[in-house]
Amino acid sequence: MTDSGTSRPEPAQILLVEDNPGDVRLTKEAFKQGRIENDLHVVSDGIEALDFLTQRGDYADAPRPDLILLDLNLPGKDGEDVLEELKDDPALRSIPVIVLTSSRAEEDVVKSYELHANAYLTKPVDPDEFIETVRAFEKFWFSVVRLPPEVDNR
């Protein structure tokens, strides 16, 4: 692909790791209302998330995400385990991870940052506030922050 300066930027690749269908729907709605081009990929548990990230099984052709939205309370392998494995992998550790969870527990906040999460957001209960939260971090991460290029350490 050539960069002529006139082509549209590639859509951001976002991986949402969320087992609650209502929160998935609200997140999709928030991104749809946003003005930033993105491709939202959704997996519903920690094992699927790691398969997606390492391109295993059904996810052999999965794109590398530019950003990961990670719920902590997941079936099977929980969000903390996913975060730990992700940040231990040299090929994946540079991908920013935003913990987006219903947990307000101080120990979850501390543990997430100890595992190198880039941000910790508590999901608002109100659907409109939830949508506004998603739109705010989308704008921040894709309009303000400069993301690292993909590093091939495999």
Q: What's the pLDDT tens digit per position in 65-118?
A: 999 999 999 998 999 999 999 999 999 999 999 999 888 899 999 999 999 999
Give the whole-angstrom CA distance, residue 127 versus residue 10. Answer: 29
* Per-residue pLDDT, 37: 76
The DSSP code sequence of 11-58 is: PEEEEEE---HHHHHHHHHHHHHSSS-EEEEEESSHHHHHHHHTT-GG
Give the whole-angstrom CA distance, residue 18 versus residue 27. Answer: 10
The distance between the two most distant Cα atoms of the chain, rounded to a whole number of Å, is 48
